[in-house]
Amino acid sequence: MAETSSELERYLQSTTKSKALWEEAKNYLPGGDSRNSIFWAPYPIFVDHASGCHVVDSDGVDRLDFIGTMTTLILGHSPKPVMDAVQIQLEKGVVYNAPNPLQTRLAKLLCERIPSFDLVRFTNSGTEATLNTIRAARAVTGKSKIAKVEGGYHGSHDQVSISVRVNPAKAGDRNRPEALAATEGLGEGMLEQVVVLPFNETKVSRQILEENKNELAAVIIEPMLGSVGMLPATTEFLAMLREFTADNGVILIFDEVISYRASMGGAQEYYGITPDLTSLGKIIGGGFSIGAFGGRKDIMDLYDPSAPGGPRVAHAGTFNANPVTMMAGAATLDQLTPEVYRKLAEMTEYLRASILKVGAELETPVQVTGLGSLFGIHFTSDELVGYRDIAAEDAAFRHQVFLGLLNEGILMASNLVGAVSTEIGEAEIDAFTAALRRVLERALTPSG
Ligand SMILES: Cc1ncc(COP(=O)(O)O)c(C=O)c1O
């Protein structure tokens, strides 16, 4: 491995204040951290402020933001129309012990845009959203097991903390993945509740589903594996899931917390496949904490508190549908017109093509995956079908590239997935590819 230490050295030299802040944080927070997904070795940068597509760390280093808080900030940091709207709401109060009309405004926008949404409910996170889709599926079917794909991330509650970023050596045959806990501390019997499918393997997944069909309440799937690598499902795979679930009284849940960015109606519109329930999060809160779940009226009606006898499925949350988040979300969606989606897709296509060009010129294998304004960089010429192919990539090399990009003024997720915001134009993309070229040139030059 060439020059690993020089990227690290450079990083250590330019992030001394972040390091000191991290050392201090460790006195009060385990590992100085509250969100494992944004920790990276040796320690992360600590952010001082951000604006548009720029993030400035505590050492004063200004970086271009090509991840936007794990894909959330589709309009960049602090977009004026959203901040102005939030300011108006802040003066009217932050959270009330009664409903507010803004929740209807955001709900209407979502129901108008997302093909499968008859009704929707708000939460504070994507985790709560997927939890509720699964609970609703269990309530409506009277069954308990769920199926998910290996590598699929659906938040941090017990039922989905299984077979996420598993070590392939411990997870059995790639076509018969074993259910593995993604964390210690899961409740007893959790593993038996989850049937694990190999992503994009239509035939074997159908076989596994058939074997479990009488016990399955739901199949939950990201139409594009998001945080694990931005790997889209094939239409054939999703169509099989739709057909199987419809034929067997199983609820099909699309987790679109990330993939909702794919188009105005989400990945379900892009693929033309309509799930029964969908979970959302990230962009729909305009930068404020949010989640949502919605879908078929007959299922969502289980939550109706005005139904005779009350709701069949309980759902509360102090900050659910709070007016600040609702205002920010609605103001964000107002900005997201078809023209904006077209421009985002065009810019991201330019980014993808530019990255491929760098790879070709340096004669190093590279693939760029993703949908809409989402992208993932993979340094391999092997076909990327499912999680195992992503897990087979050279993790040390990828980390070296990630640190190198930080050194060159680019912020991505530490596993090289990214998102393009409306603040990013050709000039920023050219800066990105020039940075990547320098990083790869250093990485590919034998040291010595
Ligand atoms: C596909 C998917 N589902 C669910 C979640 C959980 O969302 P949150 O972090 O808001 O709890 C995430 C978060 O990254 C996600 O990517």
Contacts of 419 (CB under 8 A, 6+ apart): 66, 67, 68, 71, 74, 261, 373, 374, 375
Tokens coding 255: 């987790």
Phi and psi angles of residue 429, each rounded to the nearest 5 degrees, phi first: -65, -40
In angstroms, the CA 238 to CA 219 distance is 11
Question: Pick from 311, 248, 305, 306: which is nearest to 276 by CA?
Answer: 248
Q: pLDDT tens digits for 19-75? A: 999 999 999 999 999 999 999 999 999 999 999 999 999 999 999 999 999 999 999
Identify the DSSP state of 367.
E
Domain 4-74+337-444 has CATH 3.90.1150.10: yes
CA of 154 to the centre of ligand 1 (A): 6
Matching residue, tokens 């900030």: 73
Residue extent(s) of CATH 3.90.1150.10 domains in the chain: 4-74+337-444
Confidence at 3, pLDDT banded by 50, 70, 90 = very low
Distances (CA, A) of 434 to 13, 15, 409: 22, 22, 11
- Closest C-alpha to ligand 1, atom 8: 126
Q: pLDDT tens digits for 190-206? A: 999 999 999 999 999 99
Residue extent(s) of CATH 3.40.640.10 domains in the chain: 80-335
Residue list, ligand 1 pocket, CB within 6 Å: 70, 125-127, 130, 153-155, 222, 226-227, 255, 257-258, 281, 291
CA angle centred on 156, ends 153 and 159, rounded to 5°:
80
What is the arithmetic mean of pLDDT over 337-342?
Answer: 98
What is the arithmetic mean of pLDDT over 226-232?
Answer: 97
* CATH architecture of residue range(s) 80-335: 3-Layer(aba) Sandwich (3.40)
CA of 365 to the centre of ligand 1 (A): 30
Confidence at 448, pLDDT banded by 50, 70, 90 = very low
Strands 216-221 and 251-255: parallel
Of 10-19, 195-204, 228-237, 439-448, the one with minimum mean pLDDT is 439-448
Which of the listed residues 258, 260, 288, 289 should we mutate to test ligand 1's pocket, taking the one with most ligand atoms within 8 A of CB?
A: 258
CA of 392 to the centre of ligand 1 (A): 23
Q: How many CB atoms lie within 10 A of CB 268?
A: 23
pTM greater than the 0.95 cutoff: yes
Which amino acids are annotated catalytic?
Answer: 153, 255, 282
- Closest C-alpha to ligand 1, atom 9: 126
Q: pLDDT tens digits for 271-308? A: 999 999 999 999 999 999 999 999 999 999 999 999 99
Distances (CA, A) of 70 to 62, 258, 388: 18, 8, 22
Matching residue, tokens 């200004």: 62
